[in-house]
A and B are shown apart, each in its own frame.
Chain A
Amino acid sequence: MKTIEHIPDQGILLFKTCMVTNEYPGIESSSTYAFDRLGVDYFVSDEQSCCTGLGFYFDLFDQLSTTAIAARNFAIAKKKGYPNITAMCSTCYAINKKACSLLNGNEEVRTKINSIFRQAGLDDLVYEQNSLDEVDNFYHVVEIFLSKAKRIGALNTIDLSGVRVAAHHACHYYKIHYDDVIGNPENPQLIDTIARSCGADVVEWYEDRTLTCGAGFSQRHINRETSLKVTHAKLESLKNAGVDLVLHMCPNCQIQYDRYQPVIEKEFGTKYDLVHMHISQFVALALGANPDKVCGFRTHSVPLDDFLNRLK
């Protein structure tokens, strides 16, 4: 089991994420802003590709291809001297972790992928067994922030008193590799702890706290109705718990809540007084980042203007 003492703040490769890149670029700029303020040593690579997680969970990509693409990104991380691969997205986190565990533990997969690299003349990508560790080299930004929660609290510039905050911990962070969650995987407290350190009124438990956001990868598209029913159920339980702000740790969840909240309001004939943001955006905001120029809240579908005004 991972412990908070193990979380590094050096050699961090901030792993770029397709849904951040395309939907909420503010999550990336918030992450780097917060890392700068917190003195985290990180690197963002313009060579690193996506993890293929979307394709994998759309049932298109196979495990071997996904693992090979991951191995390429691992080579970049090691070459640059930033071996602690840290995701803003829970699926990137899970995909990379599983790829690393296969590359370390499954000789056949490792040999096959290395021979693909060699045949393609990409010898510098060859993966050497145990050159990365599936536990010690893979993190999510929320873990880095958790390890700095006290400092974030001390540097906090916004008044969150009376703001009802609830966490939506992302399924692919705590349900896949449950052995490596900090704390009890049946009830992760990472986001709650960070929000509490900033003085927010944290809602400990709400009905459907562990329910998925509803995106369900292809579900959102091929079973749209079911997908929205799940999200609706979750939004209802958040509403019943009197939540003002939902904190996320995965851009896919954020799409499902932020982008689809207005759709659900329309289709289910209801109204929510809830805003959403990623933990990186929240931490950056707390550390004094500009809501538009750093956090990129303008790209959200649920406007945050009223909420932000309330904080002042």
Chain B
Amino acid sequence: MNQSNEQVGVFICHCGGNISDTVDIKSLKQAINTSNTIVFDHEYLCSNLGQNLIKKNIARCSLKKVVIGACTPAKHEKLFKKCVDDAGLNPAMLEVANIREQCSWAHSDDIDAVTQKAISLVRGKVRRVQNAKPLEPIQIPINPSALVIGGGIAGIDAALNLANNGVHTYLVERNATIGGNSAKIGKIFSPEKLEEECAMCSLSPLMNEVGLHPNITLMSCSEVENVSGSAGNFKVRVRKKARYVNDNCMACGRCSNVCPVFVENDFNCGVKDKKAISLSFAQAVPQIYSIDSEKCINLTGGTCSRCQDVCKVGAIDFDQKDEIVELNVGTIIAATGFDEFDASRKPQYGYGLFANVVTQMELARIFGVNGPTEGKLACPSNLSKPQRIVMIQCVGSRDEKPTGNRYCSRYCCMAALKHASLVKKKYPDVEVTICYIDMRAFGLYENYYRAAQDLGVSFVRGRPAEVIEKPDKSLVVKVEDTLTQKVREIPADLVVLSVAMEASTGTRQIAQTLNVTLGEDGFIKEKHSKLKPVDTSRDGIFVCGTAQSPKDITDTIAQSGLAAARTCAFISGGSITLDPEIARVDLSLCDGCGECLKCPFDAISMNDHGNVAINPLVCNGCGYCTVLCDQKAISIAGYTEEQIHAEIEGVLEKGDLLAFLSRNIAYATADNIGSSAATYPANTKIIRVPTTTIVTQSMIEQAFGAGARAVLMVEEPTDDPIGESVYSLALDNFQKLKEELGDPGGRIHFKKAYIPNYRGLASTLTTLSQEEVGE
């Protein structure tokens, strides 16, 4: 006998009585002890002593395969795999029999019945492991470069952090310059200082650094169109839009001087003070002009070449075309920022109707020395100095109506206080009133709030109903001062709306391109609000700044630094190890029919040689392809048909209920029954499968052949990432099986798992395991 090759070591854990109180360990050992098994037991196998016992006996008895009878594999399977790996065995040579959650804890039957179940579970695993083949871990190198999408303050800071840590970074910005909204706001508030700082003074050096950094490839006028691949290896298609000016532009400005076309200036909130060929603003990076193709006379079919005529370096190129660039990166950071709420959605406040109703951003531009009034406080209607300014908070925020947003936009109370302070410092005679619901000067910002009060800013607690324009163009804000309970009509020369931050169109688009989840408010959803604030629903893709939620610059920078740190940590891993239990193709059996390309996760493709290829980065081992393959050329490593047949043979006894449970939620729900001290009869035998799509006709026939009372399949729910795609396929497979087998007496069943509802599963298991067998 060549038993020594096949010797299976079985280790039974007492779990300090958790198992040994309800399972007779002696009987179990006796029953399992056969010619090709050696059985050991220990008080706590998960302890160092227990693990040493395993390692020592693998060496001493030259064990080739190991079965551990202990708690659920969800708990310590990884630990035990490492343990056998350390002892020189391939981790696939280990099986864990769940004799705690799904045995000693789950049954109120007598000790004999529970012991009998433990025996069958361990026996099943012994049979299974005898059919196991070694599996090599799949390791994929991580591409060490990163992509940052969006060149606002968040993207700039993230890119610089990465680049300074030696990561080559592509920074893709859709506009002609980086800088984003921060470039517009002029002054910024900070928690510790009561002074307002110059935004551009902080931002401009960073922008220049981005432009010059050897580790940063800056792509302006560019948009991400498509992303494929997965964490560690993304392939990104970027469209570089024609700007009609070549990179040799010296930014001398002669072209703009001679251009006859004035266009709306986004930088100055739509004021028509820009030429069709222009630089976005003086500090723009890159310092390359660009042409507005929708307004340029030449590009709209007219005759004009004045800019071309005066350009000394021949940089103007009317024939420039869009360019497609392919990038390969390991990770991606979405920093696509916010859009200002369109205040005309609240027509009662007169925005767009009355010239002297502006947003805080527009007031910031009015204050900007590079703005439309060169920093002079003035009403847009006639450029006169306003004497009375009223600010309205929460425009489009904290508003459940269809035209508003439910959330608080977080920055606006501070923005209003900042602008109110600026006005009061420069023009102490101007009256400033802020109409608010709650002033939210959180944390250290409260200092700033107090300082604004000291400056004489007035506060009225109430959400205004309307803004009215009088015939003399002066405005009136109608509001109830809820503290004095009086409806007031506050006269104003300038009304400033503190509008909401909304997820930008770019953010919504990129979420779709990247296939990351958006929250109900339209921002990119983080994986965990406390513990994983910059991780998205997809591995290797991070988010920071206002793409994730409304926030001020301070919070944005905190987040962009974290996103860069997470990215560096991910890249420095060098490679990622993938779960080996995924689909494998035996090309010698494959007839190239292409059925398996129906993979719901697009993990399977035909390669250049016409062979089926599995993308290990995408495949999650659900097993659906195994049912599609008539040639049985595809199997899930670790879950081959032979292995499952062997386990069925090992566990099943006459009158049993055989339950196939999908390996994540369904299996965890069954564990929950045991750990919550609910019960079901011990004649229920559970087999863990990737998903129930791999259950075949022959498995069920084998079960009934061995006298099973009934067969149950429990699938992942549809709100699970795998269940979402697989649930309906699993249901189809179940219905097909029912049909093929004729299902006498309704003995094949199907159920959706739901972790909190472990009692539901317990009662199903109870009913089915006690059901009278028909005919």
Contacts and interface: CB of A to CB of B under 8 A. Distances in A.
Which label, helix, strand, loop or mixed, suits the secondary structure of the A interface? loop
Contacts of A57: none
A178 B350 CA distance: 20
A186 B469 contact: no
Interface string B447-468: 0000000000000000000101
A25 interface: no
Interface stretch (A14-22, A38-46, A136-144, A203-211): A203-211
Interface residues of A, number: 13
B347 A186 contact: yes
Contacts of A222: none
Interface string B392-406: 000000000111000
B348 A184 contact: no
B471 A186 contact: no
Contacts of A210: 348, 466
A236 to B, nearest CB: 12
Given A178-B401, A207-B469, 19 more contacts: A1-B402, A184-B345, A184-B347, A184-B403, A185-B401, A185-B402, A186-B346, A186-B347, A186-B348, A186-B401, A186-B403, A187-B347, A187-B348, A205-B347, A205-B350, A205-B353, A207-B468, A210-B348, A210-B466
A168 to B, nearest CB: 15
Interface string A257-279: 00000000000000000000000
A191 to B, nearest CB: 15
A1 B403 CA distance: 11
A119 interface: no
Nearest to A179: B402
A240 B471 contact: yes
A184 B401 CA distance: 11
Nearest to B354: A205
Interface in B402-432: 402-403
A184 B403 CA distance: 7
Interface in A202-230: 204-205, 207-208, 210
A40 B499 CA distance: 43
7 contacts: A184-B347, A186-B345, A186-B348, A204-B353, A205-B353, A207-B468, A207-B469
Nearest to B401: A178
Interface in A137-196: 178-179, 184-187
Interface in B335-361: 345-348, 350, 353
A41 B402 CA distance: 33
Contacts of A187: 347-348
Which 8 residue pairs are nearest across A and B when measured between Cβ atoms? Answer: A187-B347, A207-B468, A205-B353, A186-B347, A186-B403, A184-B403, A186-B346, A179-B402
Nearest to B345: A184
Contacts of B350: 205
B272 to A, nearest CB: 22
Contacts of B469: 207
A239 to B, nearest CB: 12
B399 to A, nearest CB: 11
Contacts of A179: 402
A212 to B, nearest CB: 13
Interface in A55-79: none
B402 A178 contact: yes
A230 to B, nearest CB: 14
A267 to B, nearest CB: 24
A210 B468 CA distance: 12
Contacts of B348: 186-187, 210
Contacts of A178: 401-402
A205 to B, nearest CB: 5
A289 B469 CA distance: 38
A240 B471 CA distance: 8
Interface in B591-618: none
A235 to B, nearest CB: 16
B502 to A, nearest CB: 16
Interface in B699-750: none
A203 to B, nearest CB: 11
B248 to A, nearest CB: 48
Nearest to B346: A186
Nearest to B476: A207
A1 B347 CA distance: 19
Interface string B348-379: 10100100000000000000000000000000
B401 to A, nearest CB: 7
Nearest to B469: A207
A185 B402 CA distance: 9
B347 A185 contact: no
Contacts of B346: 186
Nearest to A1: B402
A31 to B, nearest CB: 29
A179 B402 CA distance: 7
A205 B401 CA distance: 21
Interface string B87-124: 00000000000000000000000000000000000000
A178 B345 CA distance: 14
A103 to B, nearest CB: 24
Contacts of A186: 345-348, 401, 403
B347, B353, B401 interface centre (most CB from chain A within 10 Å)? B347
A56 B274 CA distance: 59
Contacts of B345: 184, 186
A215 to B, nearest CB: 20
A186 B345 CA distance: 8
Contacts of A208: 468
A186 B347 CA distance: 7
A185 B348 CA distance: 11
Contacts of A185: 401-403
A1 B401 CA distance: 12
A54 B571 CA distance: 71
Nearest to B466: A210
A205 B471 CA distance: 13
Contacts of A207: 468-469
A68 B353 CA distance: 45
Interface string B465-501: 0101101000000000000000000000000000000
A185 B345 CA distance: 9
Nearest to B465: A210
A98 B353 CA distance: 34
B381 to A, nearest CB: 16
Interface in B623-660: none
A41 to B, nearest CB: 31
A43 B403 CA distance: 36
A170 to B, nearest CB: 17
A179 B347 CA distance: 17
B396 to A, nearest CB: 11
A205 B466 CA distance: 12
Contacts of B401: 178, 185-186
Nearest to B350: A205
B467 to A, nearest CB: 10
A207 B478 CA distance: 12
B722 to A, nearest CB: 34
A94 to B, nearest CB: 17
Contacts of B471: 240
A37 B747 CA distance: 66
Contacts of B466: 210
A175 B468 CA distance: 20
A185 B403 CA distance: 8
Interface in A233-259: 240
A204 B346 CA distance: 14
A105 to B, nearest CB: 20
B706 to A, nearest CB: 49
A173 to B, nearest CB: 16
Nearest to A205: B353
A208 B468 CA distance: 8
B466 to A, nearest CB: 8
Nearest to A187: B347
A205 B353 CA distance: 8
Nearest to B471: A240
A185 B468 CA distance: 19
A189 to B, nearest CB: 10
